[in-house]
Amino acid sequence: DAGVTQSPTHLIKTRGQHVTLRCSPISGHKSVSWYQQVLGQGPQFIFQYYEKEERGRGNFPDRFSARQFPNYSSELNVNALLLGDSALYLCASSLRTDSTDTQYFGPGTRLTVL
């Protein structure tokens, strides 16, 4: 079975630009979460979506937004990119939003902002 897939693998942008990252969850999983992992740190929670609705949001500015589609895939959008947005962006899927659910992670998208 296919795991969580993310595209693109790598991305280079300049300050002020906009970026869209994509994620396809494991088949049957209805929840998608997004994380930012800055080099040398653990992943930081950005969003969780379930059944196409935003269920939770981490401490990130409004420049970050996301959505989930009817097929449960998801997009993360970041506007007005800053140098500090350079990071590995991880998508994770799970069956639901229970605290015991296992989140399965994709390989990530490496974003570099110049």
Partner 1 sequence: AQSVTQLGSHVSVSEGALVLLRCNYSSSVPPYLFWYVQYPNQGLQLLLKYTSAATLVKGINGFEAEFKKSETSFHLTKPSAHMSDAAEYFCAVSLNSGGYQKVTFGTGTKLQVIP
Give the residue from 29, 28, 61 showing the smallest Cα distance to 44. 61
1, 41, 59, 84: which one contacts partner 1 (CB under 8 A)?
41
Nearer to partner 1, 1 or 79 (CB): 1
43 lies in the binding site for partner 1 (CB under 8 A): yes
Of 50, 72, 76, 111, the one binding partner 1 by CB under 8 A:
50
Q: If binding is defined by CB under 8 A, does position 104 make contact with partner 1?
A: yes
Tokens of 78: 């970041």
Q: Does 56 bind partner 1 (CB under 8 A)?
A: yes
If you search the block for the tokens 């420049």, which residue do you land on? 63
Helix %, strand %, coil % of the chain (to 5):
5, 50, 45
Candidates 12-20, 60-68, 71-79, 103-111: pick the segment binding partner 1 (CB under 8 A). Answer: 103-111
Take residue 13 and report the two structure tokens written for it. 């942008």
Is 24 an interacting residue with respect to partner 1 (CB under 8 A)? Answer: no
Angle at 39 between CA 36 and CA 44, to 5 degrees: 25
Q: Which of 94, 82, 63, 75 is nearest to 23 (CA)?
A: 75
**Which spans of this chain sit near partner 1 (rule: CB under 8 A)?**
4, 31, 33, 35, 40-45, 48, 50, 55-56, 90, 92, 94, 97-108, 110
